[in-house]
Structure 1
């Protein structure tokens, strides 16, 4: 059977999702308030570490409209387990008990100590202020390096240490590589804590079902299936009795890739009261109680020859866990282990990560989780190596890139990258930005003593996207998203319904999945309805994160649609009294190839399949098919990002003049969606590089508790992004696609910081930590000049 080339895949079709969102007709969790709803608020600890001496709820319970004020001890019988860690990276990892509401002790500012239920949100907020908690302060630890010192205060005394785990990896003869090197360069780079700032904070509504005795939970989450499965287990609710729905979700960025205490509380309180329970997070709560990102101290070393060839690399990390282990906390830093070697080809590599507890908000996934941190470190040290050798930073990189490959290739970290042509991508970026001309302009400005200097920064990266497979890959067991599920069915009228296990929160699945199915079945994308984010409609799924949706979920849709088309072809052959091998399928119509005889449309086939009056013997009615896709490997998108900054050496002020990004995510389904994902990711990486930092005082009290203190970039801080692509298809899936959702956040922060340092390197500045604020840059310049003020 023949079929025409794609008509819709590869086109920038307008997003189906946007009309409702742009006209204010979206449905957010906070829009949902069933009759008789009880509003929940959480009493949060104002101190980072203390024993709870007592809780007096008398005044709070007297507030009109208040129904319950409950403590951790009051709710102990509602749970069979605490909030779980889903990624124990070693067998001897230390996992502290994590109650949904603290019992006996609080371990970070924002730790919940009591919960209020009231008939109105206002009454619940008023009552929170009247709950009196007696705190017996304990010493707190904030710095991850200090936390491992002998005699440091213990976050969890019962563990006897702040050391959570140590995870090592080594390939090749690292000692020999460093012993025979002409040059060894070392660097210490910090990944500051950052806070995801989605437009929509977290929210949850749980409604007891009037029939059947179950519960429906609406929650602003990236992972409705994880929420269902984990809450069913810890709250002793059969998973068949818990329906989880993710309505419109206003951004996630990893912070909504979790199962939180508030979701568990809302569920057990709805069960306890028999009434709907609703909680909506305030922005200040978000800064305290929603997971933070990053939080690492990175110690890097590379061994190289005098002509710039890398021989070996050592990575030693300290990773801040915060006070508890959330769903993926310990695995985030470990996940980066496989990409600290970047795009570079050398023979020996070692990695060691130590997880450390502190009295701070727990950390977890944040866009580019693990891979962004890795790219930042390897690109910073590539610039440091170039300075040590007196070479151009681009030239050092070009000398160490892997050669082109279109089949899996082993890399220094021991895993298999799927495909790549790194030099083509990098040279395209260099050409687009006009690299040689920029270097000439930089030299002219330095000669003239212009106070505003030009910096050029490169951010090369690859990332392990398409989180998979479920099995061991390349001899290394990786925590992964695994398989993904899809169902495609044609209705009696010839329309198409797609059920996907992925759960979008801005990625455009309704549009992209419709394009995929439209091409496979020869229909119009407008006739394809994509259903998602509801565990009753899509009972099987692994959700959306880690640049996996298209490569795993979209491929499952592609393959399910192929099954539908194959069945339709058998029915069409029966209806046309022809052999299926003689049929061609073009523009949604089956006909005998090379003839002008009668044909049948796939919509007509769908109708015949539904009526079932004239089907081949033994064939079941209806055009419908399921597929679970479990790929053999991750996908490894890659790119080169180049940032050009103007730095005022008198004030330290940084302005991004140009930003060029060339990315390779395999074949593109919708180029406009790809560009949108890159715009958002690059903005997020620029935010970390120049503006964002979740800070605490020495005692563990947050000093960036609101958006007035925590700076995120605005449109005026960003340049126009100049984007381009190369295409290196992935062999891991039949569509040849890779991920793109995190790439912008991975390549951008090293490109920006390298550019800032490059602008002032001639003044003796070789290091600036993120965020490179004007004050930080000004201080670095003053220090390089030997001036203390």
Structure 2
């Protein structure tokens, strides 16, 4: 191993000593005087109409302080999306309401129906089993292409369809790209699935809400990679708390991979309930609960096409992607398959013409958002896979095909709005 601090040398981090000696301070380590605990009753069906949520028997069980349902959040803002996308026709994306607790319908397995606050977690869980609820199960749509068919069940009744947006980039390139494909000496096409995944950081999410009645100050302790986003979105758009009256604290976070950047319903609930009950309220996710409440990642289905001339130079690239948004729009979800993806479709290659089309789709699944690179790994996967296939079809060395088409002169302006200032892809290869 190098001893000069170069590549490969070991590095001591400032935080290592306290972690290795058991002195880390994670959100679940935070326990406030007098705190209560919340358990969420979640939907076990992907799509259904809520007819009844009867909490009377459960409310009288030992330790139960209060049971909240969607009715308690009428007049309270829903979780906002932090990134708006305008489609290729100049229309703003469809953004459905995302209530803190389900109102009227449940739209994915894990959608919270009720929240039970009790003296202990065990008491809250026991009370949840005593809640009587009636849900008419409705046809669910999970396949994106099926979701866009005429007559498909709508995830949100108030939207015109399950299409969130139909984005094209760069739209002005489209005609020239199509012409380049018509003139190409060779075209390689590839259908790809970039599968849905769940992040699974070491530490599940936790939220602790606190309220000081004498000052009107709110404090939220949460496993967040970006507490400033939580304070902005929750304060301004959900609970209407002025920023100077809201403090969001993110202590040590045991892994995130992107999934802990977003504003979640549980954070808003604990902050809301702390004021309603005038005592701290804590939620700690179980591992199985995280599978149906944490934002998922990826879930793209793509057709990518690469055009080459007679000398095997890349002349054009076009993609058609269906991107799953899930049942609601998570904080940054619309940006992932568009601005964080389409702008990277040039990769390392001097392809003169590129057109990217993305159709974002609502389905009865857990919402999808940024994960580990967010859009860029999907773009690289598509591009490198189609180059490998093109090399096989042409009977040439895939490494040589790449080297021939590498960008070598900088700065280089790609056809998808990004300028590269430097790079040495031959050396990297």
TM > 0.5 fold call: yes
Alpha-carbon distance between aligned partners in 2 of 1:143 and 1:333, rounded to the nearest angstrom: 17
Alpha-carbon distance between aligned partners in 1 of 2:345 and 2:5, rounded to the nearest angstrom: 37
How far did residue 305 of structure 1 move? 2.0
- TM-score of the aligned structures, taking structure 1 as reference length: 0.52
Match of 2:246 in 1: 242
How far did residue 177 of structure 1 move? 1.5
Alpha-carbon distance between aligned partners in 2 of 1:414 and 1:231, rounded to the nearest angstrom: 33
Match of 1:120 in 2: 120
| Pair 1:327 & 2:323 matched | no
How far did residue 237 of structure 1 move? 1.1
Match of 1:51 in 2: 49
RMSD: 1.6
Alpha-carbon distance between aligned partners in 2 of 1:125 and 1:20, rounded to the nearest angstrom: 34
Unaligned runs of 5+ in 2: none
Match of 1:184 in 2: 187
Equivalent pair of 1:404/1:422 in contact (CA under 8 Å): no
Partner SS, residue 64 of structure 1:
coil
Match of 1:397 in 2: 402
Alignment counterpart, residue 308 of structure 1, candidates 300, 305, 312 = 312
Alpha-carbon distance between aligned partners in 1 of 2:275 and 2:10, rounded to the nearest angstrom: 46
Output one character per residue of 1:407-466: Cα deviation in whole Å (capped at 9) or x when no partner: x4201313212321111111xxxxxxxxxxxxxxxxxxxxxxxxxxxxxxxxxxxxxxxx
Partner SS, residue 337 of structure 2:
helix
Match of 1:143 in 2: 143
Structure with higher Rg: it is 1
| Pair 1:414 & 2:417 matched | yes
Equivalent pair of 2:213/2:278 in contact (CA under 8 Å): no
Output one character per residue of 1:108-144: Cα deviation in whole Å (capped at 9) or x when no partner: 0000111100011111111122212100111110100
Equivalent pair of 1:65/1:120 in contact (CA under 8 Å): yes
How far did residue 212 of structure 1 move? 2.6
Equivalent pair of 2:37/2:281 in contact (CA under 8 Å): yes
Match of 1:626 in 2: none
Alpha-carbon distance between aligned partners in 2 of 1:206 and 1:349, rounded to the nearest angstrom: 48
How far did residue 157 of structure 1 move? 1.6
Alignment counterpart, residue 28 of structure 1, candidates 19, 26, 29 = 26
Match of 1:104 in 2: 104
Alpha-carbon distance between aligned partners in 1 of 2:42 and 2:213, rounded to the nearest angstrom: 33
Match of 1:496 in 2: none
Equivalent pair of 1:345/1:412 in contact (CA under 8 Å): no
Alignment counterpart, residue 200 of structure 2, candidates 197, 200, 216 = 197
Alpha-carbon distance between aligned partners in 1 of 2:134 and 2:196, rounded to the nearest angstrom: 30
Match of 1:375 in 2: 380
Alpha-carbon distance between aligned partners in 2 of 1:349 and 1:321, rounded to the nearest angstrom: 24
Alpha-carbon distance between aligned partners in 1 of 2:378 and 2:136, rounded to the nearest angstrom: 37
Alignment counterpart, residue 256 of structure 1, candidates 250, 255, 260 = 260
Match of 2:426 in 1: 423
Alpha-carbon distance between aligned partners in 2 of 1:130 and 1:287, rounded to the nearest angstrom: 24
How far did residue 231 of structure 1 move? 1.1
Alpha-carbon distance between aligned partners in 1 of 2:203 and 2:11, rounded to the nearest angstrom: 26
Alignment counterpart, residue 281 of structure 2, candidates 257, 277, 282 = 277
Alpha-carbon distance between aligned partners in 2 of 1:213 and 1:99, rounded to the nearest angstrom: 24
- TM-score of the aligned structures, taking structure 2 as reference length: 0.94
Equivalent pair of 2:116/2:128 in contact (CA under 8 Å): yes
Alpha-carbon distance between aligned partners in 2 of 1:156 and 1:216, rounded to the nearest angstrom: 33
Alignment counterpart, residue 79 of structure 2, candidates 72, 78, 83 = 83
How far did residue 404 of structure 1 move? 4.5
Output one character per residue of 1:153-176: Cα deviation in whole Å (capped at 9) or x when no partner: 111121131111011113652123
How far did residue 210 of structure 1 move? 6.3
Aligned residues: 416
How far did residue 8 of structure 1 move? 8.9
Alpha-carbon distance between aligned partners in 2 of 1:273 and 1:303, rounded to the nearest angstrom: 63
Partner SS, residue 157 of structure 1:
coil
Output one character per residue of 1:67-115: Cα deviation in whole Å (capped at 9) or x when no partner: 00111102324x2x21001111114211111100011111000001111
Partner SS, residue 122 of structure 2:
helix
For residues 582-731 of structure 1, what are the structure 2 equivalents within 5 Å? none
For residues 488-527 of structure 1, what are the structure 2 equivalents within 5 Å? none
Partner SS, residue 129 of structure 1:
helix
Alpha-carbon distance between aligned partners in 1 of 2:288 and 2:398, rounded to the nearest angstrom: 42
How far did residue 209 of structure 1 move? 3.2
Partner SS, residue 160 of structure 1:
coil
Alpha-carbon distance between aligned partners in 2 of 1:135 and 1:238, rounded to the nearest angstrom: 37
How far did residue 9 of structure 1 move? 10
